[in-house]
Amino acid sequence: MKKFNFFFFIFLMSFSLVFGKEPEREFRGVWIATVDNINWPSKQGLTIEEQKQEYINILDEIKSLNMNAIIMQVRPTADRFYKKVDKEPWAKYITGENGKDPGYDPLEFFIEEAHKRNLEFHAWFNPYRITLKKNEPIPDNHIAKKNPQWVIEYDKKFYYDPGNPEARKFTEDVIVDVVKNYDIDGVHMDDYFYPYPVLDKNKKVVSFPDDRTYKLYGKGMKRDDWRRKNTDMFVEELSKKIKKAKPYVKFGISPFGVWRNNDKDITGSATRAGAENYDTLYADTRNWIQNNWIDYIVPQIYWDFNLKVAQYDILVKWWIDEVKDSNVNLYIGHAAYKINTTKAWKNENELINQINYNRKYKDVSGSVFFGFDKIQKNALNIKDNLKSKVYKDQILPPTTPWIDTIAPKPIKNLKANNTKEGILLTWDDPTNNYADYYVIYRSVNKDFSGVYSKYILTTVKRKYGLKYLDKDIEKGKTYYYKVSPVDKVHNEGKIKEKVILKK
């Protein structure tokens, strides 16, 4: 694990803009897309070691930027990147062949390596998409072949029918089986419920062909309302199943950035986006928030401050009003993929300004970035700017008090010893404690008080041992340490202190 220099005297220099200070807690995540080999693996058919090394490189990059979460796509097209739940075929994006065993369990590896770095791991599922490209056949060994009544073809692509109760339950059960069999921290979905509409030659919307299930299950409802109800039922049912299996696993969704434009609904946003969650994708995100079916929401606000039809700041404020007084954390989805494209995105501070704008509001609890390849390549200095301007320090993710508020008990017997390699910290933890990891704070100032992100040296997962070797030290300096236990939903216990002089 890499070591970082987090001395407190640089804290006041952390901000290049005037939009408020770095928060005490913040979700900092990235989406890693596997569909069509967007981010991982870089191409199909790599060796196991090449695949693993690519993933490790991604994690090391995320960690070096002081981020704390990865959202990894594990079921992009009704397929799988996991071994222990085998209801659907292996994804071709790993080996180049649908259904071919990759020779290891990618999801197990994903989680293990993320947790070694104490990154939250959120498993990202696409619920209904079966094929990605036009005229792409459904694999012969796919369960959809055995249940054609579950399937709808739209724009020469295949989908599970959201209006079919059996197809919906099947998708829910696949996801919950992953929850039960893997040590994931969250279940995540993006904006693909009903598919985005396509236009015919006359530029008219081609209706999604769900006549059969609408006649069977519509029960006199207007079709749009029935479709929204189908999506609502899916979100509600899945939420309950996740919480029954593992209450601490967070459920989050990243919808399209606009719920409704206010020309259709006066409570909508002052935007004129061409697509809307409510009317286009039949996803009533407001209902999910109000019913507390999800733990966090990440609207994809993939626009800039100057785009009048969907202005960044207007949308952030709208979403803040939606989550206010709810049991739902709000993170903002940012368009890193647009960096260095249009005029607005050729301003290297566009994304930095967005993050600083978010920090003006206590109800915005973090950010997630799509287009990690742009960050890896440091397009328009984005990697340097993130690290030097907004993510200078490590930070803990937000809590979720509606899940749990009980903090772990303090550690015991904290000791610090000089070794040839550095200062070795060791401690004990009470039996049956709820600690999932430990935060190690360090300062050269004896009077450093409180528990602040500027003092975080590192975090250590409990499963990897109750110790830490601090190698990043200077001879002759006195170092002051604090160690606190933290549970799976980031409730932090009381700290213990120890001072050691390195000679």
pLDDT of 9 reads: 25
What is the C-alpha separation between 147 and 204, in angstroms, rounded?
Answer: 31
| Bridge partners of residue 160, in order along the sequence | 151
Q: How far apart are CA 73 and CA 92, in angstroms?
A: 14
What pLDDT sits at residue 122? 98
The pLDDT, as a whole number, for residue 14 is 32
pLDDT per residue over 194-215, tens digit each? 999 999 999 999 999 999 999 9
What is the percent of the chain where pLDDT is above 70? 95
Q: What is the pLDDT of residues 91-124, one digit of tens each?
A: 999 999 999 999 999 999 999 999 999 999 999 9
Q: Which CATH architecture does the domain made up of 412-501 adopt?
A: Sandwich (2.60)
Residue pLDDT, tens place only, 342-359: 999 999 999 999 999 999
Which residue from 468, 471, 487 is spatially nearest to 406, judged by alpha carbons?
487
- Please report where in the chains the tokens 């709810």 appear, as a residue: 326
pTM of the model: 0.94
Higher-confidence position of 21 and 410: 410
Q: Write b or e for each residue in 434-457: b if 16 or more Cβ atoms lie within 10 A of its Cβ, otherwise e.
A: bbbbbbbbbbeeeebeebbbbbbb
CA distance linking residue 438 with residue 282, whole number of Å:
42
Q: How far apart are CA 14 and CA 386, in angstroms?
A: 11
Of 335, 356, 355, the closest CA to residue 345 belongs to 335
Identify which of 32, 142, 3 has the alpha carbon closest to the alpha carbon of residue 471.
3
pLDDT at 16: 34
What is the predicted pLDDT for the residue at 23? 87
SS (H, E, C) 403-433: CCCCCCCCCEEEEEEECCCCEEEEEECCCCC
pLDDT at 21: 66
Whole-number Å distance between alpha carbons of 374 and 484? 35
pLDDT score, position 386: 97
Angle formed by the axes of helices 165-181 and 223-245, to 10°?
A: 20
CA distance 176 to 242: 6
Mean pLDDT of the chain: 93
Which pLDDT band, with edges at 50, 70 and 90, does 401 fall under? Answer: very high
d(CA 55, CA 36): 16
- Check residue 195 and give its pLDDT: 96
- Find the DSSP H helices in 305-402: 312-323, 350-358, 372-376, 382-385
Contact present, 395 and 68 (Cβ < 8 Å)? yes
CATH of domain 26-390: 3.20.20.80
What does the alpha-carbon distance between residue 131 and residue 109 come to, in Å, rounded to a whole number? 26
Confidence of residue 12 (pLDDT cuts 50, 70, 90): very low
Domain locations along the chain: 26-390, 412-501
State the average pLDDT over residues 75-94: 97
Residue ranges of alpha helices (H) inside 48-120 are: 48-64, 92-95, 106-116
**pLDDT(1) > 60:** no
Q: In the prediction, which pLDDT does 17 show?
A: 36
Half-sphere exposure of 282 (CA within 13 A, CB side): 22
The pLDDT value recorded for residue 499 is 83
Q: What is the pLDDT of residues 221-261, one digit of tens each?
A: 999 999 999 999 999 999 999 999 999 999 999 999 999 99
Structure confidence by residue, pLDDT tens digits, 282-326: 999 999 999 999 999 999 999 999 999 999 999 999 999 999 999
CB atoms within 10 A of CB 431: 6
**213: Cα separation from own chain's centroid:** 33
Query: Is the pLDDT reported for residue 431 higher than 60?
Result: yes
- What pLDDT, in 10s, does the model give residues 435-481? 999 999 999 988 777 657 889 999 999 999 999 999 999 988 999 99
Fold agreement (26-390, 412-501): no
